Amino acid sequence: MQKTITVIRGDGIGPEIVEQAIRVLNRIAEKFGHTFCFQNVLAGGCAIDACGTSLPEDTLQKCLNCDSVLLGAVGGPKWDGVPKEIRPEAALLGIRSAMGLYANLRPARLFRQLAAASPLKPEIVSRGIDLMMVRELIGGAYFGAHVTAEEKGELVAHDDMTYAEHEIERIARTAFSIARKRDHRVISVDKANVLDTSRLWRKVVGRVAGEFPDVKCENMLVDNTAMQLVKNPAQFDVVVTENLFGDILSDEASMITGSIGMMASASLGEGTRGMYEPIHGSAPDIAGKDLANPIGTILSAAMMLRYSFDLDEEAACIEDAIDRVLDAGYRTADIMSEGCMQIGCREMGDKILEQIG
């Protein structure tokens, strides 16, 4: 298989962590007989410095003309004062909307070797946490009209939450397709006892569920889901929900697994092309010190193999290698605990490469 991957190293620790992910992808290509061609582009603060804008046209074109995008992180205090249209984060929104990435996937998996990092009680953690949060990314309250106006002598604010059937249908299909690669279970989260958008959501998800008879589908109210995530996270496989609920629940789900440096994400649209990135930012406090944990980025690269290139075995090979490195007691500073061996970002890359073989 031959694939072209657009690479945005970005700012802060971005270049260090992306480097390790590229080394891993190259090793996987060698081992399984694929060719991955990397095209490097600028976005974020480094692009502001080089081109005066956080999202140069060449970057956008290369994101639109490739098989997938791998991103480190963008931003940092150096660019805090720039106008908001060209801020580093604006580049990400620009790429997501130009690529039509409407589905945000965040796996929340607790590595058993890092169980102590979870804020949940050991008896809950011991049942395991391995779920996939699928959040609708370009609809709902965040994209409706936002208005604040004076009415009857006081300020009144309105945020319009709108969903059309086709927007729900496509994210539901994404969730069910992902469930087929996992444990064949979907929980759809809404607030159908109150909101019309949620009643439509439930109806459309139910209809799409009919196309996937091999996947079990249940509905859960968002307030109950927030409780269940901390009470019994082991019950979840794939969770699909709208933008606002997903924003909150995906942070909650990430938190219960412990360290931010371990967390991967994907944003998908129509077709197979996606953008893959760790959930953390550019960590300017540790940039250039070889302290960053590259695992979230390497796991994002594994997601690219699984969800964009349909290379399940190759993705599993990376995930298993990480598992074995953690088993052997190697840790970057952010996940360090007593009795383990602390290593840097590059050495963590080396250890994972060794395990891939």
In the complex with ligand NAD, the residue whose CB is nearer, 76 or 139, is 76
Binding mask 286-325 for ligand NAD (x = CB under 6 A): x-----xx--x-----------------------------
Cα 252 from Cα 156, distance rounded (Å):
30
CB of 81 to ligand NAD, least distance (A): 12
Cα 333 from Cα 80, distance rounded (Å):
27
For residues 283 and 13, is the Cβ–Cβ distance under 8 A?
yes
Cα 95 from Cα 63, distance rounded (Å):
7
**Residue 80 bears catalytic tag:** no
Which of 160, 251, 320, 327 is catalytic? The answer is 251
**CA atoms in the 13 A half-sphere facing the CB of 79:** 28
How many other C-beta atoms lie within 10 A of the C-beta of residue 310? 12
Candidates 3, 27, 170, 280: give the one binding ligand NAD (CB under 6 A). Answer: 280
Binding mask 29-58 for ligand NAD (x = CB under 6 A): ------------------------------
Return the DSSP state at 44: S
Binding mask 126-165 for ligand NAD (x = CB under 6 A): ----------------------------------------
Which run of H or of E encompasses 122? helix 122-125
**Residue 163 bears catalytic tag:** no
Which window, 49-57, 190-198, 276-284, 321-329, contacts ligand NAD (CB under 6 A)?
A: 276-284
CB of 144 to ligand NAD, least distance (A): 24
State the SS3 of 292-323. CCCHHHHHHHHHHHHHHCCCHHHHHHHHHHHH
What pairing do the DSSP bridges indicate for beta strands 2-10 and 35-41? parallel
**Residue 223 bears catalytic tag:** yes
Residue 28 in the binding site for ligand NAD (CB under 6 A): no
Which residues are catalytically annotated? Answer: 142, 191, 223, 247, 251
Q: Which residues bind ligand NAD (CB under 6 A)?
A: 13, 17, 73-76, 89, 92, 260-261, 277, 280-286, 292-293, 296, 334
